[in-house]
């Protein structure tokens, strides 16, 4: 496809904004419109479980761009008006307020929606995805005595750490053997569990939650499958999130845990997906992939913008994410399969400063740094080949 | 062009170094960004802007025009 005369981006957050900026940096002069559900100007999510939640940052500091930088993009931002329907054939988007927007290319960047526990939410039950969620939870944490975090993935573990730093009494409940075990493997997750325990987080590992208990509409506890009840005056449900594709149900696009795209991040002619909502084919790994991390939002946006401008290149990144919990800064390049062999290649785990390499069947799949950001970045090179697209055989 | 970095916001991701290793470095201790060159030459402008765009902490500021073609 030659360069589209107009581009419509649905979702005004990290991936959507990065798409706009990459288009402009790539020299694109066409009309750009961004539709967003939230009323806020684009803001960043990682601080929402860290500096914004703890109160160390005012919420304004999470803004992605100043007003003047947004104006400079020359894009029109239509905020507080969610898209409700897409017709991919003529790339028309209808919004909740009744707008009809048409463009030559549409980029879907609607991210995720947090999953909830079944049943009606009582007061004191929280999820964390948006700035408003974070501010509500912050207010609650400042007065709550017993906080239970349900879900021991990256988000639940971060929230537990931040809440504990705010002096709440915190219990982290989840199905895994240790926090983030599915993501980091048993060895490093075990160390993370030790850190949490040392700092006073009560860990309930391998625990299933049966129900939340409430009294007069206010949460009072979390009942586990064992029958035990953990008292709680605040509960954070961090059991994962699902791609925000409900509004695309009748679009005819293929949806399967995300908007299904080819290796160019293209879902249909003139329709692309980017960020947490996009499931695309990673040619280097020859597998379907969807990433939920901040670096991917920017890097995939760059790839989508280039393809919109005619590059026709596969998106085959080395995934990268970081998490900050207590004083641990953990950074990962690659995908640390939980069954990998893990070797410490630098530093000393006992000192909580080290770099570990993850390998499967002899091939390096990830490097992980624990308070070793510079050193792990320098070793990213070791996994690049695993993710790169094989060069075409000369014919 | 003039570049500044905000070490307080930096999350030590190293994106900037991967993009422009002659302009940015990271401290050995904690990986926080260090500026090697605060007035990069024009031929480095593209990479430096790219680094600022990729920085997940918005810790890199580039003064001068945004680099957008309008
Ligand atoms: C609390 C928290 C902490 C995190 N911490 C880290 C971290 O430490 N490191 C890391 O790598 N990653 C982290 N992440 C993940 C990272 O923030 C995401 O990967 C990133 O935000 C994805 O960007 P996105 O633009 O694809 O999606 P989102 O940021 O979810 O943005 C999607 C936007 O689309 C809007 N939208 C949804 N439906 C519609 C519709 N129908 N019409 C219009 N607009 C719509 C939404 O309201 C939202 O504003 C964190 C995420 C959260 C929530
Ligand atoms: S890219 Fe940004 S956050 Fe990462 S090291 Fe450089 S300045 Fe720090």
Query: In angstroms, rounded to a whole number, what is the distance separating the alpha carbons of residues B49 and A22?
Result: 11
Length of chain B, please?
70
pLDDT value, residue B67: 59
Give the pLDDT band of residue B70 (cuts 50, 70, 90): very low
Q: Compute the average pLDDT of residues A75-91.
A: 97
pLDDT value, residue A299: 94
Query: In angstroms, rounded to a whole number, what is the distance separating the alpha carbons of residues B33 and A235?
Result: 37
Q: How far is CA A234 from the centre of its chain?
A: 23
User: Do A230 and A129 sit in the same domain of this protein?
Assistant: yes
Query: Beta strand pairing status for A92-95 and A83-87?
Result: antiparallel
Domains of chain B are: 2-68 (3.30.70.20)
Highest mean pLDDT among A1-5, A146-150, B39-43, B47-51: A146-150
Contact A165, A80 (CB under 8 A): no
The DSSP H or E segment spanning A321 is strand A320-325
Q: Which atom of ligand 1 lies at the shortest distance from residue A293's CA?
A: 19
Chain A interface, best mutation among B7, B9, B14, by max A CB count within 10 A: B14
Residue numbers in B near A373 (CB within 8 A): 12-14, 26, 30-31
Q: Which residue of chain A has the CA closest to B59?
A: A64
A147: Cβ–Cβ under 8 A, 6 or more apart, which residues?
Answer: A141, A163, A168, A169, A170, A171, A232, A233, A234, A235, A236
pLDDT value, residue A318: 96
pLDDT value, residue A1: 55
The percent of residues above 90 in pLDDT, for chain B, comes to 57
Indicate which residue's Cα is closest to atom 26 of ligand 1. A275
Domain housing A178: 116-239
pLDDT digits (tens, 9 = 90+) for A180-215: 999 999 999 999 999 999 999 999 999 999 999 999
pLDDT value, residue A119: 72
User: Do A120 and A215 sit in the same domain of this protein?
Assistant: yes
Read off φ and ψ for residue A156, nearest 5 degrees: -60, -40
Query: In angstroms, rounded to a whole number, what is the distance separating the alpha carbons of residues A298 and A19?
Result: 8
- Residue where one domain finishes, among candidates A308, A339, A364: A308
**Residue B36 touches chain A, beta carbons under 8 Å:** no
pLDDT value, residue B1: 87
For residue A223, give the CATH number of its domain. Answer: 3.50.50.60
Contact A46 B12 (CB under 8 A): no
Beta strands in A250-300 (DSSP E): 259-260, 266-268, 271-273, 278-282, 287-289
The percent of residues above 70 in pLDDT, for chain A, comes to 99
- Residue where one domain finishes, among candidates A200, A222, A239: A239
Q: How far is B57 from chain A (nearest CA, A)?
A: 9
The percent of residues above 90 in pLDDT, for chain A, comes to 96
Measured between alpha carbons, how far apart are the two ends of chain A, in Å? 26
């Amino acid at each position: 496809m030659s360069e589209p005369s107009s581009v419509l981006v649905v979702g005004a957050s990290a991936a959507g904004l990065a798409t706009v900026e990459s288009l402009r940096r790539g020299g694109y002069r066409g009309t750009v419109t961004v539709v967003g559900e939230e009323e806020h100007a684009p803001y960043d999510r990682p601080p929402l479980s860290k500096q914004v939640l703890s109160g160390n940052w005012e919420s304004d500091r999470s803004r992605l761009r100043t007003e003047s930088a947004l104006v400079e993009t020359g894009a029109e931002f239509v905020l507080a008006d969610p898209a409700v329907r897409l017709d991919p054939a003529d790339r028309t988007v209808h919004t909740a307020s009744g707008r009809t927007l048409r463009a030559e290319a549409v980029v879907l960047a609607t991210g995720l929606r947090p999953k909830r526990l079944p049943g009606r939410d009582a007061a004191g039950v929280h999820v964390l995805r948006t700035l408003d969620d974070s501010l509500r939870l912050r207010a609650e944490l400042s007065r709550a005595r017993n906080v239970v975090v349900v879900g021991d993935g990256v988000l639940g573990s971060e929230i537990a750490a931040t809440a504990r730093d705010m002096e709440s009494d915190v219990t982290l409940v989840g199905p895994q053997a240790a926090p983030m075990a599915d993501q980091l493997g048993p060895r490093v997750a075990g160390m993370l569990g030790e850190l949490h325990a040392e700092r006073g987080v009560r860990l309930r590992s391998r625990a299933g939650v049966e129900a939340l208990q409430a009294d007069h509409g206010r949460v009072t506890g979390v009942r586990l499958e064992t029958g035990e009840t953990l008292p709680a005056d605040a509960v954070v449900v961090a059991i994962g999130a699902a791609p925000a594709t409900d509004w695309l149900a009748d679009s005819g696009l293929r949806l399967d845990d995300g908007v299904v795209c080819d290796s160019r991040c293209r879902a249909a002619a003139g329709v692309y997906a980017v960020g947490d909502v996009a499931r695309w084919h990673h040619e280097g790994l020859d597998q379907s992939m969807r990433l939920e991390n901040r670096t991917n939002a920017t890097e995939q946006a760059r790839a989508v913008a280039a393809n919109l401008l005619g590059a026709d290149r596969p998106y085959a990144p080395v995934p990268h994410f970081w998490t900050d919990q207590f004083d641990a800064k953990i950074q990962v390049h690659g995908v640390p399969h939980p069954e990998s062999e893990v070797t410490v290649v630098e530093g000393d785990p006992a000192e909580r400063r080290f770099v570990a390499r993850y390998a499967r069947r002899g091939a390096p799949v990830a490097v992980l740094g624990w308070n070793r950001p510079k050193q792990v970045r320098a070793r990213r090179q070791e996994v690049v080949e695993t993710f790169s697209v094989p060069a075409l055989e000369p014919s | 062009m003039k570049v500044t970095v905000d070490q307080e916001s930096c999350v030590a991701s190293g994106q900037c170094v991967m993009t422009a290793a002659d302009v940015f470095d990271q401290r050995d201790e904690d990986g926080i960004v260090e500026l090697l060159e605060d007035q990069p030459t024009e031929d480095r402008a593209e990479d430096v802007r790219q680094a600022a765009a990729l920085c997940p902490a918005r810790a890199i500021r580039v003064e001068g025009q945004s680099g957008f073609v309008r």
